[in-house]
Amino acid sequence: MTPDATSADARTPPDAGKAAATTNPQPRSTALEPAAKPLEPAAKPPGPTAEPTPGSAEQRDLGVASFTTAGIATPAASFPMAARSLGRQFLELLLPSTCRICDACVAADEDFCRRCLRHLTQSEPLMRSACARCARPGASKPQGITASGPSSVRLDPIPTDCQACRNESFAFDRCLALWTYQGEVREAVVAAKYASKVALADALGRRLAQKIAEGLLGADRPNPSAPSAPDGLLPDLITSVPSHRWRRIQRGGGGVGVLAAVTAKSLQRAGLNCSYRPILKTTRRIRKQAWLGDRERVENVRGAFRIARRRWRSAGGSLQNRHVLLVDDVITTGSTANEVARVLKASGASRVTVAVVARA
């Protein structure tokens, strides 16, 4: 070894080779090296409610798609339910529930606003003392109220000494009226005659049925399916006072027929075994009773109603020994209800109960 080489080695530090290798790295081939695996979310612990992790292999194997909202993956199976809920909210916003009288916005399960409901029901305390025969308010002692309060007012026949109907001869056995015919009640009864107010007739029918059920069926009893009154006092057929065909055309339909049909359906849900049948029809046009005096009213409806035999017989029905519930919107002197009840009893009905929305 030459002296120059020896001196060169002496001058070179021991770690010079490593430093050079670090300063000038050689390129390496990555063709044979596997790519780094992406990080996967931690698996959920097994359990009865464990679901596949969104985006995981398990979810792809199950064929479950997912969509992401605000960074949160949600199973697509919940989308139809969310869409229906959103649709209902949109419809409530677009077509909100309104009062059947004044069109003010109300809750979805309400028929009337607080103001209209207060005006409609303000005569209910007075009607608790109505005559059980002619429904004239204040004609008898208040009907019994149980411990459960006014909602349990009994409507079973009670002896009365009504000065208004003591000398009257009625073909019907009793009359039930929901309210007195004044103010908001008058407007509601008149409006419910027209097809454009079918929703109002529906609401009135359900309230009339509730009044009947609370009395004849006893809505406060533990078993609503078991009638609380004897069979003879429970109506098994519901019908309505008919209107002439041309008058129905002028009003566009609806009216008392809708009122009676809704009353029947509501009573069926309350446990009464009955059905609505429009078994009556008019024989001629009738002048409006509101324009006539007491005697003229009687003559106006005399012979104006009959049983629709073909329709009734085709349904396999018979009035023999039946208790008929006759529904109308308003009663004043009782001339119309009396004539219809006479026709029903002449055809075999054993008992006729009249139920109206309002007593004039």
Summarize pLDDT for 157-192 with one digit per residue, the tens. 444 568 889 889 999 999 999 999 999 999 999 999
Considering the domain architecture, whether residues 194 and 302 belong to the same structural domain is answered as yes
Residue 114: predicted pLDDT: 96
Q: Is residue 21 part of a domain?
A: no
Residues 6+ apart with CB under 8 A from 93: none
Q: Which residue's structure tokens are 């007075």?
A: 126
DSSP string covering 222-285, please? S-TTS-SS-GGGS-SEEEE----HHHHHHHTS-THHHHHHHHHHHHHHTT----B---EEESS-
What is the domain count for the chain?
2
Considering the domain architecture, whether residues 228 and 295 belong to the same structural domain is answered as yes
Q: Quote the tokens at residue 21.
A: 């290798």
Query: 121, 144, 170 — which closes off a domain?
Result: 121
Considering the domain architecture, whether residues 168 and 269 belong to the same structural domain is answered as yes
Considering the domain architecture, whether residues 271 and 183 belong to the same structural domain is answered as yes
Considering the domain architecture, whether residues 210 and 159 belong to the same structural domain is answered as yes
Considering the domain architecture, whether residues 211 and 297 belong to the same structural domain is answered as yes
> What residues make up the domain containing 98?
87-121
Q: pLDDT: is 77 or 165 the higher one?
A: 165
Whether the predicted pLDDT of 198 surpasses 90? yes
Residue 151, domain CATH:
3.40.50.2020
Geometric angle at alpha carbon 321, from 318 and 143, rounded to 5°: 125
Distances (CA, A) of 184 to 111, 124, 181, 233: 14, 13, 8, 32
Q: Is residue 28 part of a domain?
A: no
Rounded to whole angstroms, the Cα distance separating 136 from 354 reads: 13
The phi, psi pair for 244, rounded to 5°, reads -65, 150
Alpha helices in the chain (DSSP H): 3-11, 16-23, 57-62, 79-94, 114-121, 124-127, 184-191, 198-212, 245-251, 256-269, 294-301, 309-314, 335-346
Q: pLDDT: is 79 or 300 the higher one?
A: 300
Residue 247: predicted pLDDT: 87
Whether the predicted pLDDT of 315 surpasses 90? no
Q: Is residue 268 part of a domain?
A: yes
Considering the domain architecture, whether residues 166 and 295 belong to the same structural domain is answered as yes
Whether the predicted pLDDT of 53 surpasses 80? no
Q: What is the chain's mean pLDDT, rounded?
A: 76
Whether the predicted pLDDT of 2 surpasses 50? no
Q: pLDDT: is 143 or 269 the higher one?
A: 269
Q: pLDDT: is 89 or 306 the higher one?
A: 306
Considering the domain architecture, whether residues 260 and 342 belong to the same structural domain is answered as yes
pLDDT tens profile 205-218: 999 999 898 767 65
Residue 91: predicted pLDDT: 60
Q: Is residue 295 part of a domain?
A: yes
Read off the pLDDT of each residue in 141-168 and give the average, rounded to a whole number: 56
Q: Is residue 307 part of a domain?
A: yes
Beta carbons within 10 angstroms of residue 198's beta carbon? 18
Q: Is residue 81 part of a domain?
A: no
Considering the domain architecture, whether residues 131 and 263 belong to the same structural domain is answered as yes
Whether the predicted pLDDT of 14 surpasses 50? no
* Greatest extent of the chain over all pairs of C-alpha atoms, in Å: 156
Q: Is residue 37 part of a domain?
A: no
Query: 99, 121, 143 — which closes off a domain?
Result: 121
Q: Which DSSP category does 77 fall into?
A: G
Q: Is residue 347 part of a domain?
A: yes
Considering the domain architecture, whether residues 116 and 205 belong to the same structural domain is answered as no
Residues 6+ apart with CB under 8 A from 336: 241, 289, 297, 301, 328
Q: Which DSSP category does 145 fall into?
A: -
Least confident of 66-80, 99-113, 310-324: 66-80
Considering the domain architecture, whether residues 262 and 320 belong to the same structural domain is answered as yes
Q: With CA atoms as reference, report the closest residue to 191 among 206, 203, 179.
A: 203
Q: CB-based burial of residue 6 (10 Å sphere; 0-12 exposed, 13-18 middle, 19+ buried)?
A: exposed
Considering the domain architecture, whether residues 288 and 168 belong to the same structural domain is answered as yes
Read off the pLDDT of each residue in 293-316 and give the average, rounded to a whole number: 83
